[in-house]
Chain A
Amino acid sequence: MSGPVDAVKVSSPAELYALAYEIETDAVERYKLLADQMQAHNNSELNRIFLDLARAEGIHAAEIQRMAGERGLDAQRAPIGAWRTESPEAVDLAAAHYLLTPVEALQMALAGEERALAFYTGLAAEATDPAVKKLLKEFVAEETEHVELCHRLIRRYSTGSEHPEDLDPPWAVD
């Protein structure tokens, strides 16, 4: 993640839905940008991985929207996200590079998922409203699954994940 993260307090399910929706849609936007970058660099394997990650986050965002109902989200949503700073799940786009390997890409994703898990776990520990606490436990379970998915994918790609050699790197002087 690139920027600092705010400490937040959530006092109602409506606020939590709005917050979680911001986190998930930010993640979708970033994964799609990364997928586009990989497509521009003819890396179809990483394009697919980032599109899959965007799809997973998008499913979660849609689920939150369904749970909240359209009005529940709009009533709480702030103009520039709910964040004064950055979403805890934000993948640092600056960590990408054009020779990225699948393992490195998944490690970028894993870092975001682990931060999201820590964020929801912290909120769940502090929550006093029973409905909010129950929802937060569901989000913790969801993020735990995402973390495990990243680990599984990292294991799957862990062999043959050296950087490809670039015989004409962009910084070579012509």
Chain B
Amino acid sequence: MSATVPLACKPGDYKSDTKPIWCPGCGDYHVLLSITRAFAALNLPPEQLAVVSGIGCSSRIPAYTSCYGFHGVHGRSLAVGAGLKVARPDMTVVVASGDGDGYSIGGNHFMHACRRNVDLTYIVMDNHIYGMTKGQPSPTTEPDFDTALSPGGTGLRPFNPLVIALASGANFIARAFSGHVNETAKIIVEAVHHPGFSFVEILSPCVTYRPDQRAWKDCVRSAPVEPTDDAARAARRLMTDDGFNLGVLYRGDRWPYQPRAAATVTDLAEFEKGFEI
């Protein structure tokens, strides 16, 4: 049994009255359990937490929590989340995406959010497919994944989100599996506590368009190595892993982004001068 900590909040306190409409069996149900358990463990009142997302099945998650939520524009969840955190540093910001939302249309935001290192947690529910739009290939889809929408597969080398996060400057990198609810919750808690941009990739099966992903539960394993703070070592590990090693894989020590203190505007004419060409 773990340490004894009195509980003020329960996971149910972070659930909204809106019932999820994901397909039965979808990994995102497990992710919702992990997120609400993590929030209870953080013991923060729902009004100090914001869950921001883009568009996709996975991006529906803010509606199912009782925290502040923003179901934003496709691919722009990180822009909204980073803006919120910079404007309201007292809030704990969790941004949620899917592999389509986060790595294709939002791919550029992903790199620059890692680089900027704003103190927030980025959760990507990766199912290697566009679930919401009926199964188009995403940047993490295997090259030979054959469907009527991509006959013979795309033939394209998949994007390695963890490597890209590391190369772009993310300060915390972890991989989780949706079926391991408590383990994932613990990783989310650690990600929130870690300063700067924390990236948690959760393998979350799409049972409808990727029924083959039901086998993921037998492929995942705890990473056989301890987390490292050495980026070069992390790079070697991430470049060579097969995508099924779970756990915290990198903990950096970069100082989080600090916005410059806002100038206090007292005179509008003076302020406008700053924009003169």
**A81–B182 CB distance below 8 A:** yes
**B3–A78 CB distance below 8 A:** yes
The majority secondary structure among interface residues of chain A is loop
Residue in B closest to A96 when the chains form the complex, CB atoms: B24
List, in ascending order, chain A residues with CB within 8 A of B149's CB.
173
**B1–A15 CB distance below 8 A:** yes
Q: Is B6 an interface residue (CB 8 A)?
A: yes
Binding stretch for chain A, among B33-41, B45-53, B152-160, B229-237: B33-41
How far apart sit A30 and B22, CA to CA, in the bound complex (Å)?
15
Q: Is B185 an interface residue (CB 8 A)?
A: yes
Interface string of A29-60 (1 = CB under 8 A from B): 11001101111110000000000000000000
**B179–A3 CB distance below 8 A:** yes
How far apart sit A90 and B214, CA to CA, in the bound complex (Å)?
17
Within 8 A of A (CB), among B133-154: 134-135, 148-149
Q: A136 to nearest B CB, angstroms?
A: 15
Residue in B closest to A90 when the chains form the complex, CB atoms: B181
Q: Is A95 an interface residue (CB 8 A)?
A: yes
Within 8 A of B (CB), among A75-101: 75-86, 90, 92-98, 100
List, in ascending order, chain A residues with CB within 8 A of B16's CB.
none
List, in ascending order, chain B residues with CB within 8 A of A4's CB.
180
Q: B222 to nearest A CB, angstroms?
A: 9
Q: Is A128 an interface residue (CB 8 A)?
A: no
**B182–A173 CB distance below 8 A:** no
Q: Is B258 an interface residue (CB 8 A)?
A: no
Q: B126 to nearest A CB, angstroms?
A: 15
Q: Is A167 an interface residue (CB 8 A)?
A: no
* Option from A2, A76, A174 in Cβ contact (under 8 Å) with B4: A76
How far apart sit A91 and B254, CA to CA, in the bound complex (Å)?
40
Q: A14 to nearest B CB, angstroms?
A: 10
Q: Is B256 an interface residue (CB 8 A)?
A: no
Q: A97 to nearest B CB, angstroms?
A: 5
**A76-B4, A78-B5, A171-B208 known; A39 vs B181 contact (CB < 8 Å):** no
Q: How many residues of B contact A (CB 8 A)?
A: 45
List, in ascending order, chain B residues with CB within 8 A of A86's CB.
180-182
* Option from B1, B5, B135 in Cβ contact (under 8 Å) with A8: B1
Q: Is B186 an interface residue (CB 8 A)?
A: yes
How far apart sit A92 and B37, CA to CA, in the bound complex (Å)?
17
Q: A37 to nearest B CB, angstroms?
A: 4
Q: A48 to nearest B CB, angstroms?
A: 16
How far apart sit A10 and B30, CA to CA, in the bound complex (Å)?
28
Q: B251 to nearest A CB, angstroms?
A: 19
**A8-B1, A40-B19, A94-B30 known; A79 vs B24 contact (CB < 8 Å):** no
Q: B257 to nearest A CB, angstroms?
A: 29
**A76–B30 CB distance below 8 A:** no
**A170–B179 CB distance below 8 A:** no
Q: A168 to nearest B CB, angstroms?
A: 12
Q: Could you list some 14 contacts between A and B, CB below 8 A?
A: A2-B30, A3-B180, A3-B182, A36-B19, A75-B4, A75-B6, A78-B3, A79-B43, A80-B37, A81-B182, A86-B181, A94-B178, A95-B25, A97-B24
Q: Which B residues are within 8 Å of any A CB, using their own CB?
A: 1-7, 11-12, 19-25, 27, 29-30, 33, 37-38, 40-41, 43, 134-135, 148-149, 177-183, 185-186, 189, 205, 207-209, 214, 217
Q: Which A residues are within 8 Å of any B CB, using their own CB?
A: 2-4, 8, 10, 15, 18-19, 29-30, 33-34, 36-41, 74-86, 90, 92-98, 100, 170-171, 173-174
Nearest 3 pairs of A and B residues by beta carbon: A2-B179, A79-B41, A78-B2
